[in-house]
Structure 1
Amino acid sequence: MVYPIDRPLLGTHVSGVTAQWISARLSVSEVDDACRYFSMNGRSDLAGELSRSMAGVRAAAALYISRREEAASAVGSSELPISAASGESSQDHLSVTEAAGVLGLSDRRVRQILAAGTLRGARQGHRWLIGSDDLDGYRMSRVA
């Protein structure tokens, strides 16, 4: 789509968990109603933009859910994939201490949340590792 020069482009990247959150809160019928409203008021350009944007958000949410389910089945035995378990540095996993710092909680509280299953994590020996997507999902659930 080509935008006029006087209209600044406002773009953003949303994570999978954010796309899932948006999709869960905006039903297809609500988006369709908004698109019809825009079309009836002579703003079919906005209707098309909204429709395409929400289709992209829903596709991102579906991909996120699919990948999360694949990861859960791979980690279902509470063992990490070989790359993470081998000690390689991975920015996709955080230690309990790192997660505690992000959440503003104590290490002990994070371990309690992990043990309760409220926050997903995988054990590596005596250590827990928390996926960054899992941590984001937990943070979003605390806000909602």
Structure 2
Amino acid sequence: MNTFKIAIIGSLVALSFITSYAFAEAPAVPSGINPNDHIALANYYEDLAKEVSGKLAINQQKLNDYEDHPYYYGRSGQDLSSHLQANIREYKKELFADLQEAELHRKIAAVQQDTQFNKAKADIGEVTTR
């Protein structure tokens, strides 16, 4: 009976790992952009990076203000400081990820454009004259 319980618990744990991978989210592409339009996707991720860099600058300024005048904030100042530092870390990660995505889509668009150009060359070479 004891081994039966262990086997059931083990199978439930294995099933939970399998289902967690099945429901993992892929990065969301906005509904208005064609997934194959990599130039538009690169522009989208660059716009996201600009927004995040603005938020990052605001939080960095707030942290600098706190560090310049910590006596204005009283006891809650340390909580504010750690909260701002955590926000800054997360915004830096998000900014880095957005810039990487933009760069990736720029590279894919360049490869696609080069491939289309090569196809056009091949079509010109196949034309025969009478």
Band the TM-score falls in, shorter-chain normalisation: 0.3 to 0.5
Counting helix residues as a fraction of each chain, which structure ranks higher? 2
* Structure possessing the higher relative contact order (Cα contacts under 8 Å, 6 or more residues apart): 2
Counting strand residues as a fraction of each chain, which structure ranks higher? 1
